[in-house]
Structure 1
Amino acid sequence: MRGTGTIVNVLAVLLGGSLGLFLKRGLKERYQEILMQALGLCTIFIGVSGALKGMFVIEDGSLSTTGTMLMIFSLVAGSLIGEWIDLESKMEAFGEWMKARFGGKDDNQFVEGFVATSLTICIGAMAIVGALQDGMTGDASMLYAKAILDGVIVVVFASTYGKGALFSAIPVGIWQGSITLFAKALEPVLTQQIIGDLSFVGNMLIFCVGVNLAFGKRFRVGNMLPAMVFVVIYDAVVMLI
């Protein structure tokens, strides 16, 4: 049945988050702090490895770079639009709304946990390609694999940030479910080149999330999200030229 992959992914996030909350109750503050630093470091290297995979190519036996103009155009234009719209404050406002109903006044990490976890598990090629495969052919195997990875990630996030990490299941369900639902219409637009470039820029944003986790907030990653739209615009223009 189409859509099963996203349902399983959402359930894995909820299960992993619940396990993380259980573990958090037994962790002293100093352990939570070192865990957050370790999580940030892991996220940094996940982002770096994915970005470098998209940026470096071997041509005629030598290493060269590609995608520089794509990177500059999409991140600069996307960040300017995102800052104008102020997407991050809207994500935080949604987090505050959920906190008021489900988190509690004393849960100071609810919003940060929701935003950081959502950005980490929603950005990436597996979410796009897996949801497309599920919608077009009913093959949800990639989303099943992603569900396992996300479950493990959310265990760590929830054990560090608390209840807010569980609510990342909402944007996962909306994002992947929408792609699956409109897969037939998106298939001609999302070529392999575009999906690869989305993964490239998405991994750069994941790197920024990792820096924020490890060193405190340095990047307004939410305001950089429109860069993903400008990746598609850039590739479309290049194809026309």
Structure 2
Amino acid sequence: MIPLGSIVNALAIIFGSVLGCWLQSRFPERIRAIVFQGLGLCVLLIGIQMALKVDNILIVIFSILLGGITGELLRLDTLFERLGNRFKTIIKSDNAQFTDGLITSSLIFCIGAMAIVGSLEEGIRGNPTILYTKAILDGFASIALAASYGSGVLFSFIPVFLYQGSMTIGAGFFQQYFSDPMIAQVTACGGLLIIGIAINLLELTEIRLANLLPALGYVVALTAIFG
């Protein structure tokens, strides 16, 4: 089947990012700074809302710890930075925040209940309504993100489309794993990562979020075993 919801979602991100990049070049530095800070506060709220959906806090804690250790051992931050910079070279972008924008926006758009539930809903019942709603939200979010980070946000449509599209096409297979408790745990773990994004945006400290990404795999595995 054709994942229409994911296609519309990807197009919304592209359109919003183009608009955000256009606005970025017209904002003076002080406006860009306050937009960055405002975005950080909004992302913090999103992350807190997601994290509070936790079903078993111990599983999430161990997932974050194990994920961080795994990510540091694998040096995922360096790997993602190299991939982002290579992609940046291919498209000949001179945006210094290209890689940060790509990774940050991909995390925000891919992590969450709407991405999972919407993809499964379209794949099983042929109803893309949830993904259409997510597309509207992501479209507006991409405007703000692109106005802050620039062109890297635009290319986050690629992981979003691949992630949601694959779940839609393989919905029958994924459905057996993504029960309500599983979705709650993944959403909560993802919420903590998004709080980390907010902390980075607000420049409170620097969290190497790429090295925490394995936590999402651990939370699925640990929830399946102990949840």
2:47, 2:199 → 1: CA distance?
Answer: 10
- The one-letter code sitting in structure 1 at the alignment partner of 2:129 is S
- Map 1:3-22 onto structure 2 (within 5 A): 3-22=3-22
Deviation, 1:103, is: 4.3
- The one-letter code sitting in structure 1 at the alignment partner of 2:126 is G
Deviation, 1:87, is: 2.2
1:216, 1:9 → 2: CA distance?
Answer: 31
Query: Structure 1: which 5+ runs fail to align?
Result: 56-65
Describe the superposition over 1:96-121 as per-residue Cα deviations: whole angstroms up to 9, x where unpaired. 112112243x3211111111111111
Describe the superposition over 1:69-118 as per-residue Cα deviations: whole angstroms up to 9, x where unpaired. 112111111111122222222222221112112243x3211111111111
- Match for residue 86 of structure 1 among 75, 82, 95: 75
Match of 1:150 in 2: 138
- Map 1:203-214 onto structure 2 (within 5 A): 203-214=191-202
Question: Computing the radius of gyration over CA atoms, which structure comes out larger, 1 or 2?
Answer: 1
- Match for residue 61 of structure 2 among 46, 59, 72: 72
Describe the superposition over 1:149-188 as per-residue Cα deviations: whole angstroms up to 9, x where unpaired. 1001100011111111101111111111111122111111
Q: Which runs of 4+ in 1 moved over 3 A?
A: none
2:119, 2:210 → 1: CA distance?
Answer: 22
1:83, 1:167 → 2: CA distance?
Answer: 25
Match of 1:60 in 2: none
- The one-letter code sitting in structure 2 at the alignment partner of 1:91 is F
- Match for residue 101 of structure 1 among 59, 69, 90: 90
- The one-letter code sitting in structure 1 at the alignment partner of 2:196 is C
Query: Structure 2: which 5+ runs fail to align?
Result: none
Describe the superposition over 1:184-231 as per-residue Cα deviations: whole angstroms up to 9, x where unpaired. 111111111101111111111111111111116521111111111111
How many aligned positions are there?
227
Matched, 1:174 2:162: yes
SS at match of 1:215: coil
1:212, 1:140 → 2: CA distance?
Answer: 33
Matched, 1:34 2:34: yes
- Match for residue 194 of structure 1 among 176, 179, 182: 182
- Match for residue 203 of structure 2 among 206, 210, 215: 215
- Map 1:104-123 onto structure 2 (within 5 A): 104=93, 106-123=94-111
- The one-letter code sitting in structure 2 at the alignment partner of 1:88 is D
Give the TM-score of the pair, scaled to structure 2: 0.95
- The one-letter code sitting in structure 2 at the alignment partner of 1:164 is G
2:60, 2:175 → 1: CA distance?
Answer: 23
Cα pair 1:197 1:231 within 8 Å, conserved: yes
- The one-letter code sitting in structure 2 at the alignment partner of 1:9 is N
Match of 1:136 in 2: 124
CA RMSD of aligned residues (A): 1.5
- The one-letter code sitting in structure 2 at the alignment partner of 1:98 is F
Identity of aligned residues (%): 39
